[in-house]
Homo-oligomer: A and B are copies of this chain.
Amino acid sequence: MDIKSYLTAKRTLVEEALSSILPESDEHLTTHFEALNYSLRAGGKRIRPILCMAAAEALGGSVAPLMDVPCALECIHTYSLIHDDLPAMDDDELRRGKPTNHTVYGEAEAILAGDGLLTLAFELLSRDNVALLNADVQLKIINLIARAAGSTGMVGGQALDIESENKEITFSTLRLIHSCKTGALITASVQSGALLGGADEDEFLAMTNYGRNIGLAFQIVDDLLNVLGTTEQLGKAAGSDAEHNKATYPAIFGLEATREKAGEAVAVALEALRHFDHKADPLRALAEYIYTRSN
């Protein structure tokens, strides 16, 4: 299949849906809504919402009438980028090729834009969908996304990452940072799509396994790109991991073994999909794409 056209088509759907969830401005809150839109509409790969849609489709479902879930995943991802970029955190000035939120709107507005997007995610996830989605399934989706995003997931991973700067850490700590910081929300994207698609227990487990392994591959490749990519390609500062003395796969294993490990994770992810038919081809192509991407 042509993964590039697939990604372009899905990305268009996501962009359209994202435009519709947030007004461009508000009578009283001009700057706040500008700051929200600035980051949410800054482009990006939209990989989490697309994984969610592809997982639902792999099970014969369609997410099209339920874009609130993919949009919520992108809101959570975007909030995490805004907060991670803050001076008190990674202190980054570039994101998706544009000045970071706090560089444009100041720290206070950037903190609030992040808070607003995180909260908006849960507003979207809990919207009235009675006719489209069983309320128990909807609650399950909210809960799994909250757990993936919170202190035992993404937020915890970022905290551990910050606490580990300039420290010697073990490989198992690095693994934990990766699986929490990036892996958890990627896995939840696949899982929530699986639930939207009506997955049974076995299908849900297979999807979880797929999600964990592409999440791992994604982070390993991120580490690689931070070493090998240029700032222009990445749209964010290259080489920043080494500058912050962050523990990364390339720092521990070297470049070649790191690439091999990413390849192994992709292979395990593909194996997890062995019982799915051609409807899972986009998920298969996404796993390859994550391995070969250049930004």
Contacts and interface: CB of A to CB of B under 8 A. Distances in A.
Contact of A29 (B83, B118, B156): B156
Interface of A: 26, 28-29, 31-33, 36, 79, 83, 86, 88-89, 106-109, 111-112, 114-116, 118-120, 122-123, 125-128, 130, 135-136, 138-140, 142-143, 146-147, 149-152, 155-156, 158-160, 162-163, 173, 176
B119 A155 contact: yes
Given A111-B111, A115-B114, A159-B31, A122 B120 contact: no
A57 to B, nearest CB: 25
B115 A118 contact: yes
A39 B115 CA distance: 18
A28 B173 CA distance: 8
Contacts of A106: 88
B112 A150 contact: no
Can you list the 5 inter-chain pairs with the closest CB atoms, starting with the nearest?
A: A88-B107, A119-B150, A135-B135, A32-B159, A123-B146
A91 B36 CA distance: 23
Count of identical protomers in the assembly: 2
A109 B26 CA distance: 31
A179 to B, nearest CB: 11
Contact of A123 (B115, B126, B143, B162): B143
A151 B88 contact: no
A106 B32 CA distance: 25
Nearest to A36: B151
Contacts of A155: 32, 112, 115-116, 119
A108 B143 contact: no
16 contacts: A26-B156, A28-B176, A29-B159, A29-B160, A29-B163, A88-B107, A89-B111, A109-B159, A109-B162, A112-B159, A122-B142, A123-B146, A123-B150, A126-B146, A130-B136, A135-B139
Q: Among the interface residues A128, A136, A152, which one has the most CB atoms of the partner chain B within 10 A?
A: A152
Nearest to A117: B151
